[in-house]
Amino acid sequence: MADITTSQHGQWSSRFAFILAATGSAVGLGNIWKFPYIVGQNGGGAFVIVYLLCVIGIGIPIMMAETLLGRRGRHSPINTMEILTTEAKADPNWHYLGWMGVVAGFLILSYYSVIAGWALAYTGKAFFGSFFGENPAGIASIYDNFIASPWQQVFWHTIFMTATMAIVVRGVESGLEKSARFFVPILFVLLVLLVGYAMTKETYYFQGLHFLFSPDFSKLSGDSVLVAMGQAFFSLGLGMGAIMMYGAYLPKDISIAKTSIIIAAADTVVALLAGIAIFPIVFANGLTPADGPGLIFKTLPIAFGNMTGGWIVGILFFVLLFFAALTSAVSLIEPAVTWLIEARKVDRYTACLWSGLLTWALGVAVALSFNVWSGFKLFNQNLFGLVDYVTSNLMLPIGGFCIAVFVGWIMKQEDSESELALSQPHFYKMWKFSVCYIAPAAVFLVFLHVVGVL
């Protein structure tokens, strides 16, 4: 293989820049929207322990594997897998792994931008006091009326997609890197402010900490273990081409292992801080932490509308949700943009225009599936549910499994050793064992679970 030291699309200016960008990619709605309610549904502290073990045993090894693939290939995931498949003299069909990641990222963004649009809209509602003094029925009515309006859905989705593409069109250093340097620290500051507010609740704050960190393994089921495994995997944003793409921009002298550990740790800290911030608010207002996906848009506004300081807390929360979604969105579309540049020989502006418009159009269809097209169902699901299921429950587990198998069993050992450049041989052996056996077996169990076999 030719000695390619930098990507034709540019590279991160430093390890810190890569860490911020990749952390922004990993941190998203899954950490702040999904993590608290699945912890609530699965008994609290015992679930958190299993989740942390899965991050260490599954998430970090696969993140290292996906990053090294990107850095070795130095192209979009599609062309990277073509290059590395040829290098390994493997079955040519392995190059479809790159395609699956790019398509998964594209599909996820089409509905991700709709939900992120909700966060934007709810920021405005919080600012204008729409939740003030409302009871549960009033909050439910606000939500139902908003979802039923096709024009509002499309409008906020369009605003979010425009913001996303405005960042991506500026390239690696001027767009992706600068946005990460700005948004990721703000995201952490907003979370800390919300945690600070939760601490003022005293009794409820400690009740939240107890719920989150005191394990009661009697509440943990086999199903909960599989859910924790899946959440750890999806929370890190693996298998969708984003980490592989960001790895392509990583300078050769930066340690993949160290940065992967830091990114996974930062992603986990954000999820835990979200729980620390949300659970005291839930308990202080007599709500239940197991309310499911509606916890953010149907339940928390009740608290924001009836608590002291709820106006500013509500605004901060939905702004946080928007920033988290934006930092993930730019990484989801980047693989498609780079492939268009490479395959169609167009400039970055044209590639962004094409990919952005296509994603926006599918997102419009997703937005309309909540209202005017709600009657159209496939496999008993609307378009939003179908795209979410196919990507999260099928494409990402298959992608993660294949990444582990390709790096662990297909790629030459000297190539993976060269990219990781671990200081001690036994560290490489530990990683190799995990990526060859533990990670693929665990992801395979998750896949069997989501398709209903387990």
pLDDT digits (tens, 9 = 90+) for 199-249: 987 889 999 999 999 998 888 877 788 788 778 877 888 888 999 999 999
Question: Could you give the C-alpha distances from 305 to 133, 134, 135, 138, 139, in angstroms and in order?
Answer: 5, 6, 8, 11, 9
Residue 1 lies in a domain: no
Q: What CATH number corresponds to the domain at position 270? A: 1.20.1740
Decide if 3 is inside a domain: no
Average confidence score pLDDT of the chain: 90
The segments of the chain whose pLDDT lies below 50 read 2
- Taking the CA atoms of the chain, what radius of gyration do you get in angstroms? 21
- Are the C-beta atoms of residues 35 and 274 closer than 8 Å to each other? yes
Task: Give yes or no for a contact between 233 and 445, defined as CB atoms under 8 angstroms apart.
Answer: no
d(CA 169, CA 175): 7
Residue of 287, 277, 370, 367 lying closest to 318 (CA atoms): 277
Rounded distance, CA 31 to CA 33, Å?
A: 6
**Helix (H, G, I), strand (E, B), or coil: what is residue 381?**
strand
Per-residue pLDDT of 157-213, as tens digits, reads 999 999 999 999 999 888 889 998 988 899 888 888 888 888 987 889 999 999 999
Angle at 268 between CA 15 and CA 401, to 5 degrees: 85
Q: Is residue 7 part of a domain?
A: no
Is 244 inside a domain boundary?
A: yes
Tokens of residue 208, six digits: 């939240």
Cα–Cα distance, 400 to 444 (Å, whole number): 9
Residue 2 within a domain? no
Q: Which residues, in sequence order, are CB contacts of 142 under 8 Å at separation 6+?
A: 125, 130, 131, 134, 301
Tell me if 308 is assigned to some domain. Answer: yes
Nearest-angstrom CA–CA distance, 444 and 413: 23
Q: How many domains does the chain have?
A: 1
Residue among 288, 129, 139, 314 nearest 211 (CA): 288
Angle at 72 between CA 402 and CA 14, to 5 degrees: 115
CB-CB contact of 289 with 36 (8 Å) = yes
- Domain range enclosing 126: 15-450
Q: Is residue 239 one of the residues assigned to a domain?
A: yes
Domain-located, residue 55 = yes
Q: How many angstroms separate the CA atoms of 134 and 305, rounded?
A: 6
pLDDT of 214: 92
* Host H or E run for residue 396: helix 396-405
pLDDT at 94: 96
